[in-house]
Amino acid sequence: MYLRELPFYRASSLKHLGRRSEMTASLSENLRKWRHGLNGRNDGFFTVTPFLYSFIKNQDKVRRAHYLWLISLAEYTLGDAEKAISDLEESIDCYGNNFYAKYFKKYGFCE
């Protein structure tokens, strides 16, 4: 199963290995895709909307929360912690059941 967070973890590894230019290039491209997805339309499962979100009533809010979460991970890794925290909080406001966003806010990069 493909996890959309994988580019974040890959970028974090590259950052740790000291390969910052490769990390920035990779994460910037994913950030562009995620921002596009944030403003995209709902095409149903296997395109813009992650599969399980197709069964949720308010898909637009959940999709927005999902992409804000991904964007916040990228922004933090690229060094914009203030924007990352802002997007993370908006993600939680959009969909309060976003476990990963809540977890990162409490234990992750939002000290």
For residue 110 the two structure tokens come to 């939002």
Q: What is the predicted pLDDT for the residue at 81?
A: 87
pLDDT averaged per 10 residues in sequence order, the chain, 111 residues: 79 92 92 85 55 65 87 91 91 85 77 42
- Whole-number Cα distances in Å, 72 to 18, 43, 44, 54, 55: 21, 23, 24, 23, 25
Phi, psi at residue 48, to the nearest 5°? -90, -40
C-alpha dihedral sign at 6, 79, 27, 84: positive
Residue-range domain boundaries for the chain: 6-107
pLDDT for the residue 44 = 57
Phi, psi (degrees; rounded to nearest 5) at 31: -60, -40
pLDDT at residue 20, rounded to an integer: 94
Position 57 scores a pLDDT of 66
Predicted pLDDT at 42: 62
